[in-house]
């Protein structure tokens, strides 16, 4: 009897105009059928996290880059992979949404023509930037994610939901501008920063730089990432958290969330997802 194939996790996103998001969602349901995970589809693009053995992920990535029905929309979309000890997902779903990231600011979309490439920094350039004294480093995630792990010197906006983030920025922007501060920003995979950075530059007048590919890319690229990163990186699946070398930790959902209104529902959701597993899992040890 052959051993079960090892699972890998991939994450991806691309902001690109989709004139027929419903048709795109149907096509993606066909392409992800052999996999597990979740994909969001909206008029502003797609975002997803999937898991499967390497050969199935290879086939999916090839289809996203080359399937003629996609008309080249995702031919340059990068995929980030990480190992799995715990099965991240138990089923696969494609969700049709109004936005793939709900910022909550009217008229703001992730589709920005001619986005300044210089504001996307690779991990080494980001490391050098955040060491500068005139830079304020913002964690563009929820408070419980920051609490679990963060970059050294990073500021916690203290938000319980991404929709609260713009309000925090509006309050702080005048002070940062008066102090001549540049803003460095990061999130888990880069998508939240992608949605907010252009708005921050255009509407708030901030000089903004974002970590390309987010925390996951930083930890993947730099073997000594723990020089800058402390703690663990929360991931929104059954693995719960990864260390500075992208290895799954023993942290459970119960250890991540506090007993507050902002976080109790997240624990309940994690427990519901966990209950799909027919075997005891990390979250119920």
Question: According to the model, what pLDDT value does residue 280 have?
Answer: 41
Q: Mean pLDDT across the stretch 31-49? A: 97
Report yes or no on 110 lying in a domain: no
Q: Over the stretch 166-212, which tens digit does the pLDDT of each residue have? A: 999 999 999 999 999 999 999 999 999 998 998 898 899 999 999 99
Query: pTM for the complete prediction?
Result: 0.87
Question: According to the model, what pLDDT value does residue 1 have?
Answer: 47
Q: Over the stretch 102-148, which tens digit does the pLDDT of each residue have? A: 887 887 788 876 555 558 999 999 999 999 999 999 999 999 999 99
Residue 52, beta-bridge partner list: 8
Query: Which of 96, 129, 145 is the C-terminal boundary of a domain?
Result: 96
Same domain, 78 and 137: no
Catalytic residue, chosen from 84, 187, 193, 233, is 187
Same domain, 72 and 141: no
CA 104 to CA 170: how far, in whole Å? 13
Q: Taking a C-beta distance cutoff of 8 angstroms, is the pair 43, 21 a contact?
A: yes
Report yes or no on 1 lying in a domain: no
Helices (H) and strands (E) in the chain, counts: 9, 13
Give me the residue label for tokens 């609490």. 147
Sheet of 208-211: strand order equals: 120-121, 208-211, 182-186, 135-139
Report yes or no on 104 lying in a domain: no
Query: Which of 34, 64, 96 is the C-terminal boundary of a domain?
Result: 96
Q: Taking a C-beta distance cutoff of 8 angstroms, is the pair 96, 42 a contact?
A: yes
CA 274 to chain centre: 21
Q: Mean pLDDT across the stretch 44-69? A: 98
Same domain, 137 and 219: yes
Question: According to the model, what pLDDT value does residue 258 have?
Answer: 75
pLDDT over 90 at 70, yes or no: yes
Same domain, 134 and 21: no
Same domain, 266 and 218: yes
Same domain, 156 and 91: no
Q: What percent of the chain is modeled with pLDDT above 70?
A: 87
Q: Which domain holds residue 214?
A: 117-271
Question: According to the model, what pLDDT value does residue 283 have?
Answer: 44
Identify the three-state secondary structure at position 21: helix
Report yes or no on 88 lying in a domain: yes
Output the CA–CA distances (angstroms, integers) from residue 238 to 67, 121, 258, 284, in the order listed.
30, 30, 18, 11
CATH number at residue 149: 3.40.250.10
- Total structural domains within the chain: 2
Question: According to the model, what pLDDT value does residue 157 have?
Answer: 94
Question: According to the model, what pLDDT value does residue 110 have?
Answer: 81
CA 69 to CA 27: how far, in whole Å? 8
Has 187 been annotated as catalytic? yes
């Amino acid at each position: 009897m052959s051993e079960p194939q090892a699972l890998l996790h991939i994450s991806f996103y691309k902001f690109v105009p989709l004139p027929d998001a419903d048709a795109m969602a149907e096509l993606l349901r066909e392409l992800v059928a052999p996999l597990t995970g979740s994909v969001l589809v909206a008029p502003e693009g797609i975002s997803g996290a999937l898991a499967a053995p390497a050969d199935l992920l290879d086939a999916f990535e090839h289809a996203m880059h080359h399937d003629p029905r996609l008309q080249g929309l995702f031919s340059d979309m990068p995929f980030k992979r990480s190992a799995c000890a715990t099965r991240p997902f138990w089923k696969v779903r494609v969700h049709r949404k109004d936005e793939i990231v709900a910022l909550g600011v009217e008229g703001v979309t992730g589709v920005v023509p001619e986005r300044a490439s210089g504001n996307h920094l690779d991990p080494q350039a980001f490391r050098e930037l955040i060491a500068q004294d005139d830079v304020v480093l913002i964690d563009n995630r929820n408070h419980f994610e920051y609490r679990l792990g963060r970059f050294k010197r990073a500021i916690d906006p203290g938000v319980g939901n991404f929709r609260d983030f713009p309000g925090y920025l509006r309050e702080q922007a005048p002070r940062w501008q008066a102090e001549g501060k540049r803003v460095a920003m990061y999130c888990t995979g880069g998508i939240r920063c992608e949605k907010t950075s252009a708005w921050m530059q255009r509407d708030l007048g901030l000089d903004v730089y974002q970590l390309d590919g987010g925390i996951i890319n930083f930890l993947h690229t730099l073997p000594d990432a723990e020089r800058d990163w402390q703690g663990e990186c929360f991931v929104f699946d059954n693995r719960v958290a990864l260390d500075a070398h992208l290895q799954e930790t023993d942290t459970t959902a119960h250890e991540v969330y506090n007993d507050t209104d902002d976080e109790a529902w997240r624990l309940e959701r994690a427990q519901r997802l966990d209950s799909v597993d027919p075997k005891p899992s990390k979250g119920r040890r």
